[in-house]
Structure 1
């Protein structure tokens, strides 16, 4: 059976970070080194939901908090899946480490309002995936990956963005992104909590995790029949969160106005010709 300091820390009270709603996130020395990098700390200044806070004023939580929640979910997913011998056959300690790091750093390339800006498809504006690549190759982050995790930045990027060539990579990638994954499980709950609405929490999270398994081919994440209702409730929770929170009519109106503003400023070349370049705004020192 593979070992991981982070999995061992799940049952330890040594180093913890408390995030809403009374969730203890286990922190090892090598995880702390990653979250203390400038690249990761800047996420504490980036709102998770952007303009949603205009309608739901409590929704001011950050990508930093969300990333810790996704990392915590990844540990729970792995702890459940390791009971399946097919999982252990396909994924060794190195792949588990890569999955844990990818979960923690999955939003590293985000900047304020990046999704509505990306939707404009402006030719000189990079994507958050491109910014993630820059940050993963940052001296501070890459040194931590190599020295503490024996990982290369390219390995983390390939797990996040593909291609996924090995069976182990396909399993790990399905944990990170799929119908039921560590990201959705956190943002539905967390966004619902901070927005002050029940919609994203109306499913049995614990039971859903208890029924995680691999599919018949042993290639991707799946669920057992006993948790089908919990999974269906999660899918419906996502639908309602989009209907009532993410795509609330006032949020979409504000987003459209922001996009028009950004488009006009970009067209006038105010950003592209300024010093420092607009991309450097997203590399500013973290606050606090």
Structure 2
């Protein structure tokens, strides 16, 4: 079976696609059909980094390009696994084909700003991806052209679908979503490339060369510990300088508030968002009542807004925890806006005081390291990273901010309000 899989990976991917990051990416004829399917082509109209292009003008790359990159790296990782001495015997050609389809299609359920809307009552994009794979014409391509099971492809992507003791499914789920997953390896490199910053770049050849298979996923050689260190540093710096840049956060907060209020007021439905691309989203949202549309329009010019107060997020602070609930946050914003209105009537436009709280992020370190004594966890191996250090990354990055229009901020320099003590 292993020889058959190796032959498939070496001989059946002959259709070249040019990519600015990885150069030639070779697809099979069946995967090329998927690439041209309308559901997949929609990803070419959704920017990978949303409003980051307001700060980094080159960051206009799309989820389609990223999806191709994840497929490319998945195929390279598979080749390393299959040539390893400890290659699991439970791998099948059907499973390998499903994993490669899943790598290409892992983001097909994405809609604009999806990662920014985690606190809203919206479906996870992985669940939407699985549904599209099973319910669209893509399923027929997977079944008849590629020769694998669409349900298995969906199960590899969708974490809500249990593996139920299926060793091969567990193996591929863990590779697609983990410390050294192809998703992270592509987006760190791709985002850094298009933003023009050096922080996210990884030594992909070295990283992949140090991967070793286990029964349930992958491990790393002791020599490869530095690869995880690089990923952790890179992820931290990319969040600090790109993903959570203050202008990006302000733009995101304005859009999130507009969507929250639109859903609450039944101006839009969650189902309406799922099929949109970036242009459709902007057109639909700016056609809403002005108090909502203005938030989306202003999200294109975040420099017109100012942070008037900020504080590190504290998990032990009840108010901070409560503010993670969008209903409570909106009520808190109204209380703050009411205090400003009482002191400076007519100064603050409706809905234009926004509290921004980034969602909790994780710096995954759950990866076994192989040395002469066998497997041991990454934390505790020869690395500078301890759990407190990794936890410190999140604490350093995550701040609650109160945002208002710059014209408002200029006129309230002596406002006597502590926005993080009012309940």
Give a deviation string over 1:138-176, Cα, whole Å, max 9, x none.
341011011023333221121122423222222212210
Name the SS of the counterpart of 1:25 in structure 2: strand
Match of 1:281 in 2: 276
Match of 2:34 in 1: 34
Match of 1:2 in 2: 4
8 Å CA contact 1:2, 1:88 repeated in 2: no
Give a deviation string over 1:188-209, Cα, whole Å, max 9, x none.
00000001100001x3221111
Match of 2:230 in 1: 233
Match of 2:209 in 1: 210
Ranges in structure 2 where 5+ consecutive residues have no aligned partner: 281-423
Q: What is the number of residues matched between the two proteins?
A: 275
Give a deviation string over 1:197-231, Cα, whole Å, max 9, x none.
00001x3221111011024xx32211111222122
Q: Partners in 1 of 2:259 and 2:177 — Cα distance?
A: 30
Q: Partners in 1 of 2:279 and 2:246 — Cα distance?
A: 32
Match of 1:114 in 2: 114
1:249 equivalenced with 2:246 (yes/no): yes
The structural deviation recorded for 1:136 is 0.9
Name the SS of the counterpart of 2:268 in structure 1: coil
- Cα RMSD after superposing both structures: 2.4
Match of 1:181 in 2: 181
Residues 162-201 of structure 1: pairs in structure 2 closer than 5 A: 162-164=161-163, 165-201=165-201
Q: Partners in 2 of 1:253 and 1:153 — Cα distance?
A: 39
Q: Is the deviation greater in 17-26 or in 85-94?
A: 85-94
Give a deviation string over 1:74-105, Cα, whole Å, max 9, x none.
01000101012432412111111111111010
Match of 2:259 in 1: 262
Match of 1:131 in 2: 128
Q: Partners in 2 of 1:184 and 1:279 — Cα distance?
A: 23
- Which structure has more RCO (C-alpha within 8 Å, separation ≥ 6)? 1
8 Å CA contact 1:116, 1:255 repeated in 2: yes
8 Å CA contact 2:142, 2:149 repeated in 1: yes
The structural deviation recorded for 1:15 is 2.3
Could you say if the C-alpha distance between residues 166 and 75 of structure 1 is closer, same or farther in structure 2, counting changes exceeding 3 Å?
Answer: same
Could you say if the C-alpha distance between residues 95 and 199 of structure 1 is closer, same or farther in structure 2, counting changes exceeding 3 Å?
Answer: same
8 Å CA contact 2:176, 2:183 repeated in 1: yes
The structural deviation recorded for 1:250 is 1.5
8 Å CA contact 1:56, 1:195 repeated in 2: yes
Ranges in structure 1 where 5+ consecutive residues have no aligned partner: none
Give a deviation string over 1:117-140, Cα, whole Å, max 9, x none.
2x2322xx3331332133112341
The structural deviation recorded for 1:73 is 0.2
8 Å CA contact 2:45, 2:277 repeated in 1: no
The structural deviation recorded for 1:7 is 1.8
Name the SS of the counterpart of 2:64 in structure 1: helix
Name the SS of the counterpart of 2:200 in structure 1: helix
More helix by share: 1
Q: Partners in 2 of 1:206 and 1:114 — Cα distance?
A: 31
Could you say if the C-alpha distance between residues 168 and 81 of structure 1 is closer, same or farther in structure 2, counting changes exceeding 3 Å?
Answer: same
Name the SS of the counterpart of 2:58 in structure 1: coil
Could you say if the C-alpha distance between residues 257 and 283 of structure 1 is closer, same or farther in structure 2, counting changes exceeding 3 Å?
Answer: closer
Match of 1:79 in 2: 79
Name the SS of the counterpart of 1:47 in structure 2: coil
| Greater C-alpha radius of gyration | 2
Q: Partners in 1 of 2:276 and 2:44 — Cα distance?
A: 15
Match of 2:105 in 1: 105
Could you say if the C-alpha distance between residues 9 and 245 of structure 1 is closer, same or farther in structure 2, counting changes exceeding 3 Å?
Answer: farther
- TM score, norm. by length of structure 1: 0.88
Name the SS of the counterpart of 1:237 in structure 2: helix
